[in-house]
Amino acid sequence: MIATYRVREKRDKLESRAQGIAIGLTIGTWTELPASRLDQVRRHCGRVVGIEVLSEESDGQVIAHLTIGYPTSNFDGTFASLLTTVFGKLSMDGEIRLVGLEIPESLAKLYPGPKFGVAGCRHRFGVYGRPLVMSIFKACIGLTLDELVEQFEAQASGGIDLVKDDEIFFTDAYASPEERVQAYRSAAQRVAETTGRETAYAVNLTGPVHRLKDRARKLSELGAGALLVNAIAYGYDVLADLAADPEIQTPILAHPAVSGALYGSATHGVSGDIVLGQLMHLAGADMVIFPSMYGSVTLGAAETEKLLNHLRDDSVFAPSLPAPSAGIYPGLVKRLIRDFGDDLILNAGGGIHGHPNGPAQGGKAFLEAIEAVQSGVELIAYAQDHDALRGAIATWGVKE
């Protein structure tokens, strides 16, 4: 396992800092060990692979990349071992950021990876040759089941592919996840009589960790379209455990809540592409929500490109579907397809519910925008005789 760190350090301290990491995160110390013990632990010792100075700072320090190799035998196939080794106590050691991880295939294979991936999700939701469209429940806490069903129906009526819970919806007080899955499934079947499409429901998988797998199996049996998992808050090992379970035959949609605490700083933490791309893919997320480059909360373009490469890496696992999110509206669809291609989920909350003629027209506007882009017609021109798209463009405009 090769890890690269961005550090700020005195130039003449780089070598000892790198050695300190290689030893400190593996065998802990070597200075006080007797020769016999040293031989025993040597094969577990990290080593310095490279030191690269990137820039000189005005205070005499340099910004550098330190690259450290860790023996694969130090890892046990859990995220706990991976993260604690490569960035455990080191994450607290001043200005240091984990910016690269090369995971050898032998180690990657200890993790589940996506069960469905892009092809499996497309098959499951019956969507081919275009991006998927997903709507987010908004203002759902405190509503009764009947009111929630009404909101589900309104969203599904636009003919969209998925409706997902808001990730902050944890309370079961009015409608448990099990009740919601059953009620929305009936609603989706009713709506399908008009739209011809049975909209799937991504239910928020909530509750204590020790009950999640049972609940996921139950929700799977009841017909949940996908399981929304707050993967950072619950932890990557929880996500991996769900993905590895053969009885859970439902795609997993990972939400990035809390991830900004890990990747948000340019100088500390872990790069966004690792947090939301590489590790989500390894842990088995079939679909991954992340902040888009142009919405209300964002991830930089360079990190986004690396994130996409991780999600789409098919060398060991099936690729995952990216869902660039936050502040997405129909006028962005041309740009989203240009930047991300067709294997993509267009995911919107406000950009559907805020449509002047309601959420059904909000969802339809996304589908019309896709039609426009796929037929090579400008969104504004297509909107002339497509009411839903016209309403969306009048509200949010077009950004190409």
Active site positions, annotated = 89
> How much of the chain is helix, strand and coil, in % rounded to 5?
45, 20, 35
**Which amino acid appears at position 351 of this protein?**
G
Q: What's the farthest any 2 CA atoms get from each other in the chain?
A: 82
> Coil, strand or helix: which one is 77?
coil
- What is the gyration radius of the CA atoms in the chain, in angstroms? 23
CB 3 within 8 A of CB 68: yes
Q: Which is nearer to ligand 1AE, 69 or 300 (CB)?
A: 300
Taking CB under 6 A as the criterion, the residue among 177, 349, 359, 391 binding ligand 1AE is 349
Which range in 102-110, 111-119, 228-236, 347-355 contacts ligand 1AE by CB under 6 A? 347-355
Residues binding ligand 1AE: number (CB under 6 A): 15
Taking CB under 6 A as the criterion, the residue among 351, 359, 362, 391 binding ligand 1AE is 351
CB of 105 to ligand 1AE, least distance (A): 31
> Coil, strand or helix: which one is 11?
helix
Strand 96-102 and strand 269-270: the pairing is: parallel
> Taking CB under 6 A as the rule, does residue 325 contact ligand 1AE?
yes
DSSP character for 319? P
CB of 327 to ligand 1AE, least distance (A): 5
Binding to ligand 1AE (CB under 6 A) within 185-244 occurs at none
> Taking CB under 6 A as the rule, does residue 328 contact ligand 1AE?
yes
CB of 138 to ligand 1AE, least distance (A): 7
Output phi, psi for 256, to 5 deg. -90, 10
> Taking CB under 6 A as the rule, does residue 330 contact ligand 1AE?
no
DSSP character for 297? S
CB 347 within 8 A of CB 313: no
> Taking CB under 6 A as the rule, does residue 7 contact ligand 1AE?
no
> Taking CB under 6 A as the rule, does residue 113 contact ligand 1AE?
no
Binding to ligand 1AE (CB under 6 A) within 143-172 occurs at 167
Question: DSSP of 184-235, one letter per residue?
Answer: HHHHHHHHHHHHS---EEEEE--S-HHHHHHHHHHHHHHT-SEEEEEHHHH-
Q: Which is nearer to ligand 1AE, 112 or 177 (CB)?
A: 177
> Coil, strand or helix: which one is 345?
strand
Taking CB under 6 A as the criterion, the residue among 30, 350, 377, 380 binding ligand 1AE is 350
Taking CB under 6 A as the criterion, the residue among 327, 371, 377, 380 binding ligand 1AE is 327
> Coil, strand or helix: which one is 6?
strand
Q: Where are the beta strands (DSSP E) in the chain?
A: 2-10, 47-56, 61-69, 96-102, 132-136, 162-164, 200-204, 226-230, 252-255, 269-270, 287-291, 321-325, 345-348
Which range in 78-86, 207-215, 226-234, 345-353 contacts ligand 1AE by CB under 6 A? 345-353
Which range in 242-250, 311-319, 344-352, 363-371 contacts ligand 1AE by CB under 6 A? 344-352
Taking CB under 6 A as the criterion, the residue among 289, 321, 344, 389 binding ligand 1AE is 289
Which range in 25-33, 92-100, 237-245, 343-351 contacts ligand 1AE by CB under 6 A? 343-351
Query: Binding pattern to ligand 1AE, positions 32-71, x when CB under 6 A?
Result: ----------------------------------------
Catalog residues that contact ligand 1AE under the rule CB under 6 A: 136, 167, 256, 289, 291, 296-297, 325-328, 348-351
